[in-house]
Amino acid sequence: DKAERLHFCSRKAFSMNNTEVHEINRTVVRCQDTSSDTGASTHAVTVTGTSTGIGTGAGDCTGVKKIEAVALCWSRKELKAAYLCIFLVYFFISLQQQIHFNVVSYVTSSFKLLPLTGTTSVVSSVVGGVSRLATGKFIDVVGRPEGLILMVAFTTIGIIMMAATRNVETFAAAQVFYWVGFDGMEYVMSVFMADTSSPKNRAFVFAFSTTPYIVTTFAGPRAAAAYLEVSGWPWAYGTFAIVIPAIASPLLYVLYRNEQKARMAGLIPERKVNRNFKKSISYYFYEFDVIGILLLSAGFVLMLLPSSLASYQVKGWASDTIIAILTTGLACSVGFVIWEKVFTPAPLIPFKLLANPSIWGACMLANFRFMSFYLWDNNFLAFLQVVYGLSITNAGYISNIFSIGTCLWAVVFACLLRVIGRLKYLALAHLCVLLLGVSLMTYFRQPTSYIGYVIMCQIIIAFASGGLIISEQMVILAACPHEAIAIPLALLALFSSLGGAIGTSISGAILTNKFPAALDRALPGNATLNDLLYGDLAKQLSYPLGTPERQAVLYAYADTMWYQTCIGAVLLIPCFIFVAVWKDFNVKEMKKAPGNLL
């Protein structure tokens, strides 16, 4: 069996053409330059008289070299098996995500703190986004499978904590673990798909990975309703503490099996690192820039949280607590810049990458697009239930039009891109459609509007976003060489998460300032009742449509949504500049990495 595997990998290696050999040599030279001080040795494999240089070490490109070696060894059948496993993982994590989105309002509402739904999202979004930069370094240094194992562990810990939580503080901490792991799993699989797909097919591969949402969009709300009615929301999380590790195991098996084949063929020699345990801890502490992660996360979280917390303070924004939080957040942000520029040997954010107009343009587009979306989407599910009297299942279907629409149109967009090849002008056209959809939402947010118009707006927004999501990823990948794709994708994810966190924070600030004021105008002299209505979704739904209390809540939601959608539409205007600076890439003319790729 061993001889057969060695023969197979040798045959794959000898079948490479000169271009593929040259590309591997270029990768190894770059990787050796970054790892020259680690004490690692690199072993070269000779292919038709030319050194491929696929080796290993503790340098920055160890994970890249390992996945390139795997791509040389596995068969087409094994490659397809890996993608089938990815599809299954995406299916179950997307199902869990849909259930989470439909029950999270009931979780925070059970603590009588419904407005803190957005607050808990701010913390988890920021930490999740920042952590992906460290994850990107980890999978480049250690490997893709190891990164996936770590992210599965974080996700499972977060799910267990959420299932066992009894207060909003524990739930907020659980969400940090959950989103670091959940986003990290998606990120690692995205990097893997970029590693193993050709530029011409890459958009279709990314679109393919989102197709499970088409099914889970319908299954998620129904499953959430069943959990709420039968076993309670804790089991909506507890079930997946078993399911997610189990469903990730086949993918890990495929990756490790083929990595072992490459190692036996001599494509991945054993690592030889001249560091003891203490030096290794110090090396990875600085390599993953732990201090930078803490400073950046704390800075953004502490500057964004007061917008949601101010209403809980007697003096509002003038409260000593709020001022202290803002001051500390600003100090952490300044400290992060100083640390990155002066002290750290391995900066968390690769500022040189942001000098590329295509990269910073894509990152800023993602940032503003997420900011715009989360401004009005955060309370959209509760809005549908209260204003239109929809059940959680039907409200979930409408709320998830965005998910299913983006997935469907991403496939269509990928087919268009495969034929047309050029990204820039396709992205500009989709941006125009997105601005139209959000602007129409501003007009049709009123309780008197027909629900069909709201659905129409959601479809427009979803289709436009589906094309832009793929465009951002493709531009980032087109602007970078293969051995450097992990960090730019992490940078895109960071800007997306920060945009979502900022949008959520602004949305929370609008809700905490406009919603209670609108309730007071609609129900004057009922301060106690208004406080209950403001913080409890179940209390809002307990009053039938047509009653004065329910009408007051309808008025408050309509007033709040006007501010949220208006600001969301305005934020899309600068996005035209961000797309205009892109290089006009043609994916049909881009070279593919060596190996057996889709």
- Residue 64: helix, strand or coil by DSSP? helix
Q: What gap in Å lies between CA 91 and CA 481, rounded to an integer? A: 30
Mean of the per-residue pLDDT values of the chain: 79
- Please name every residue paired with 51 in a beta bridge, in sequence order, or none if there are none: 46
Q: Which of 18, 14, 13, 15 is nearest to 69 (CA)?
A: 13
40-44, 76-80, 391-395: segment of lowest average pLDDT:
40-44
Give residue for tokens 């970054």.
34
Q: Which of 517, 514, 520 is nearest to 565 (CA)?
A: 514
Q: What is the pLDDT of residue 362?
A: 93
- Residue 422: helix, strand or coil by DSSP? strand
pLDDT digits (tens, 9 = 90+) for 126-166: 777 788 888 888 888 888 899 999 999 999 999 998 888 87
| β-pair type (50-51, 46-47) | antiparallel
Q: What are phi and psi of 354, to 5 degrees?
A: -70, -10
Residue 28 class from Cβ within 10 Å (0-12 exposed, 13-18 middle, 19+ buried)?
buried
pLDDT of 447 strictly over 70: yes
Q: What gap in Å lies between CA 241 and CA 160, rounded to an integer? A: 6
Q: How far is CA 48 from CA 27, 52, 264, 298, in A?
A: 18, 10, 19, 53
Q: What is the pLDDT of residue 535?
A: 66
Q: What is the pLDDT of residue 1?
A: 44
Q: What is the pLDDT of residue 112?
A: 57
Q: What is the mean pLDDT of residues 350-363?
A: 85
Q: Which two tokens stand for residue 382?
A: 């509760």
- 323: amino acid identity, one letter: I
Q: What gap in Å lies between CA 336 and CA 164, rounded to an integer? A: 34
pLDDT of 432 strictly over 90: yes
Q: What is the pLDDT of residue 311?
A: 60
Selected residue with higher pLDDT from 399 and 273: 399
Confidence of residue 281 (pLDDT cuts 50, 70, 90): confident
Confidence of residue 39 (pLDDT cuts 50, 70, 90): very low
Q: Residue 443 in contact with residue 385, Cβ under 8 Å?
A: no
- The model's pTM is 0.76
Q: Which alpha helices (H) appear in 389-449, and where do they start and end?
A: 392-399, 401-420, 424-443
- Please name every residue paired with 586 in a beta bridge, in sequence order, or none if there are none: 422
Q: What is the pLDDT of residue 456?
A: 94
Percentage of the chain with pLDDT > 70?
82
Q: What gap in Å lies between CA 255 and CA 78, rounded to an integer? A: 9
- 575: amino acid identity, one letter: C
Q: What is the pLDDT of residue 118?
A: 55
Confidence of residue 30 (pLDDT cuts 50, 70, 90): very low
Q: What gap in Å lies between CA 328 and CA 341, rounded to an integer? A: 20
Q: What is the pLDDT of residue 28?
A: 42
Q: What gap in Å lies between CA 430 and CA 365, rounded to an integer? A: 12
Confidence of residue 593 (pLDDT cuts 50, 70, 90): low
Q: What is the pLDDT of residue 387?
A: 86
DSSP code per residue over 131-182 = HHHHHHHHHHHT-HHHHHHHHHHHHHHHHHHHHH--SHHHHHHHHHHHHHHH
Non-local (6+) Cβ contacts of 343 within 8 A are none
- Please name every residue paired with 46 in a beta bridge, in sequence order, or none if there are none: 51
Non-local (6+) Cβ contacts of 143 within 8 A are 62, 63, 66, 67, 259
Q: Residue 91 in contact with residue 168, Cβ under 8 Å?
A: no
Q: What is the pLDDT of residue 264?
A: 82
Q: Residue 141 in contact with residue 63, Cβ under 8 Å?
A: yes
Non-local (6+) Cβ contacts of 195 within 8 A are 64, 67, 68, 71, 144, 482, 485, 593
The count of C-alpha atoms lying within 13 angstroms of the C-alpha of 1, restricted to the half-sphere facing its C-beta, is 2
Dihedral sign, Cα of residue 110, residue 111, residue 115, residue 116: negative
Q: What is the mean pLDDT of residues 427-432?
A: 94
Q: Which of 295, 281, 327 is nearest to 127 (CA)?
A: 295
Chain-centroid distance of CA 222 in Å reads 24
Q: What gap in Å lies between CA 238 and CA 200, rounded to an integer? A: 41
Q: Which of 373, 402, 379 is nearest to 568 (CA)?
A: 373
Highest mean predicted confidence (pLDDT) among 142-146, 288-292, 466-470, 500-504? 466-470
pLDDT digits (tens, 9 = 90+) for 554-585: 888 888 888 999 999 999 999 999 999 998 88
Going from the N-terminus, what domains does the chain have, and what CATH number goes with each? 353-588 (1.20.1250.20)
Q: What are phi and psi of 313, to 5 degrees?
A: -100, 145
- Across the chain, which distance is largest between two alpha carbons, in Å? 88
The residue count of the chain comes to 598
Q: Which of 79, 82, 121, 81 is nearest to 100 (CA)?
A: 121
